A and B are shown apart, each in its own frame.
Chain A
Amino acid sequence: MIEYLFLLLGEAIMVFGALGILRFPDVYTRLHAATKCDTGGAMNILIALAIYADTSTLIKLKFLVLAFLIAMINPMVSHAIARGAYKYGIKPEVVVDMYAWDNP
């Protein structure tokens, strides 16, 4: 019964992350919503699968390895995309840009 709770939590997080990508006005806010919601939803669904799968322990360990790799890789790629988008010339739609003080 606990695996269905994890599954429902992960699905809800992923759906709200997709709605955030559709509705936010800027690149950086979209990236914020995408990274956090996608990482959390994928890790919750993989923990639910590791509980639910009716197999040996060695195969259940693969789901935890996949969750660890998602938690390591996805913020790294998101940080690289944000840095590349600022170097590309996309200015954020904010009142004051504190990142431009240090990087003229």
Chain B
Amino acid sequence: MVKESLLVTPFGWGVLVLMLTSLLLTYRIIRGPTLADRIVGLNTITTKVVVIIAILAVISEEYALIDLSIVLLMVNAVGGLILAKYMEVER
């Protein structure tokens, strides 16, 4: 049960700003000239999603979501390293 609406505290407006920023960054994923540009956009969007989940855990007072954000950050790190090694092997 969410006790208060999303756009009451300033942190709710912060969630809205981060979502609009992620929509701006989608342009770099769709129309990047090379593969490395797309990987940069994906890592940035995933870090923003980690921060959005951590804010929503505080607003809805359900603190189990912080562990989910930690796990998402580690999965992002492993995926980025795997894509970087793929770029290094493929000439």
List chain A positions with a Cβ less than 8 A from chain B: 4, 7, 11, 14-15, 17-19, 21-22, 27, 30-31, 34, 38, 41-42, 45-46, 49, 52-53, 55, 59, 62-63, 65-66, 69-70, 73-74, 76-78, 80-81, 83-85, 87-90
Neighbour of B88 across the interface among A30, A55, A83, CB < 8 A = A83
Neighbour of B63 across the interface among A38, A59, A65, CB < 8 A = A59
Do most interface residues of chain B lie in helix, strand or loop, or is the interface mixed?
Answer: helix
Chain A contacts for B25, CB-based, 8 A: 18, 21-22
Chain B contacts for A18, CB-based, 8 A: 21, 24-25, 44
Query: Interface range on chain B: under 10, 10 to 19, 20 to 34, or 35 or more?
Result: 35 or more
Q: Could you give 14 example pairs across A and B, Cβ below 8 Å? A: A14-B21, A21-B40, A27-B36, A34-B40, A42-B47, A42-B51, A49-B54, A55-B63, A62-B63, A63-B66, A77-B77, A81-B39, A81-B43, A83-B88
Q: Which residue of B lies closest to A18 (CB)?
A: B21
Min CB gap A41→B, angstroms: 8
Indicate if the CB atoms of A31 and B40 lie closer than 8 Å.
Answer: yes
Min CB gap B8→A, angstroms: 13
Q: Which residue of B lies closest to A16 (CB)?
A: B21
Neighbour of B37 across the interface among A11, A30, A83, A87, CB < 8 A = A30
Neighbour of A80 across the interface among B24, B55, B69, B84, CB < 8 A = B84
Query: Contacts A30-B37, A77-B84, A81-B36 known; A65 to B70 CB distance under 8 Å?
Result: yes
Indicate if the CB atoms of B69 and A66 lie closer than 8 Å.
Answer: yes
